[in-house]
Amino acid sequence: MNPNWKKFLLSEHAIFENDAEIVFPSPEHEGNQRIYPVTHLGVLSVAGKDAAKFLQGQITCNINDITDIKSSLGTICNPKGRAITTFLLVKSVDAFLMILPNELLASVKKRLQMYVLRSDVILTDSSDELCLIGLSYGISQTDGALDFATSRQENIVVNFQDRCLIIAEVDNAQSIWTKQVNQGFQPDDSAQWRYLDIISGIPWLSAETSEEFIPQMLNLDKLGGISFNKGCYTGQEIVARTHYLGKAKREMFLAEGGDITPPEPNSAIIDNSDGVEQSVGKVLCAQSRKKSCKMLIVLQVSDTNSYSLRLKNHNQDKITLSTV
């Protein structure tokens, strides 16, 4: 994290549990408008005259669809079609910005570097130069459209549902934060932005879940993060075969576990709908808010669409499903 950004947030009464876990005192008044430091995500810049061609051969979304006014979710796969990381891809003036989990950024950069060869491509960890700020105007609804419309003035703003993600250099980020707080936005914990991402169905991966799932298991096809007519990319054969032979045997669901401690990524999900307990899925990510634990989980698709779910080793903690 940029030290000047951290110093500024501290002056705004932020409490750092670590660089990815930032909390604020309870707001002085209730309201839907919130502002969040999004520090668990980083920025990998891909620049150079061959950047677009290079990315086209590495990612599931179509680089030609990424414009000044349109961003996209996507994923990088290994040769077996398993998602290494998910990302939000944004076009800046002279580079593509890949927003992805900080804990995966270094390994993703190293892996992509192996494919650069003689191409004019420069990969840079820009997480210290560019800050991410989340703005929320209300409670996100799971049936809202995630079109990732993008605008650019002094900063890049990616809109989805009733939220937006702002990408700004440090000095601008401080000005934006101050302006929005003065206009009534209440600083809120970084974990709550992750909660909003979960109920929006955005499938961020972690070290535990990297290379565990093919993109369709993460609903990337439904979220517009896979192009089936763009040509070859690493893992494309497996992703395309799954698409053309029928839907994936596993899909991602939004689930709720009540007032429980958020389970760790890759925690096992047990089903007892037919009287016989069996492991049917895993937790992708989880976050609590107001005594409600929301999770994105990847489950075997049931022919009857009937489940009786719980976390493994949590006999009393039932899990109910919602629509992502």
Average pLDDT over residues 8-19: 93
User: How do residues 57-108 score in pLDDT, each as one tens digit?
Assistant: 999 999 999 999 999 999 999 999 999 999 999 999 899 999 999 999 999 9
pLDDT of residue 324: 53
Q: Could you give the residue range(s) of every CATH 2.40.30.110 domain in the chain?
A: 249-324
Q: Which residues contact 239 (CB under 8 A, 6 or more apart)?
A: 60, 77, 81, 214, 215, 216, 226
Provide the CA 147 distance to its chain's centre, in angstroms.
Answer: 14
Average pLDDT over residues 123-132: 97
Q: State which amino acid sits at residue 123.
A: L
pLDDT band at 316 (very low <50, low <70, confident <90, very high): low
Provide the CA 294 distance to its chain's centre, in angstroms.
Answer: 15
**pLDDT tops 90 at residue 276:** no
The domain 249-324 belongs to what CATH superfamily? Answer: Aminomethyltransferase beta-barrel domains (2.40.30.110)
Instruction: Provide φ and ψ at 276, rounded to 5°.
Output: -120, 120
Distances 111 to 25, 52, 84, 232, 299 between C-alpha atoms, Å: 40, 17, 10, 18, 29
Q: Which two tokens stand for residue 37?
A: 């430091």
User: How do residues 149-176 score in pLDDT, each as one tens digit?
Assistant: 998 878 999 998 889 999 999 999 999 9
User: How do residues 223-252 score in pLDDT, each as one tens digit?
Assistant: 999 999 998 999 999 999 988 887 778 999
Domain 3-199 coded CATH 3.40.718.10: no
Q: Which two tokens stand for residue 50?
A: 């061959």
Residue 5, H or E segment: helix 3-11
Nearest alpha carbon to residue 289 among 223, 195, 219? 195
Provide the 8-state DSSP code for 69: T
Query: Mean pLDDT in the chain?
Result: 91
pLDDT of residue 59: 97
Q: Could you give the residue range(s) of every CATH 3.30.1360.120 domain in the chain?
A: 3-199
Nearest alpha carbon to residue 16 among 32, 5, 30? 5
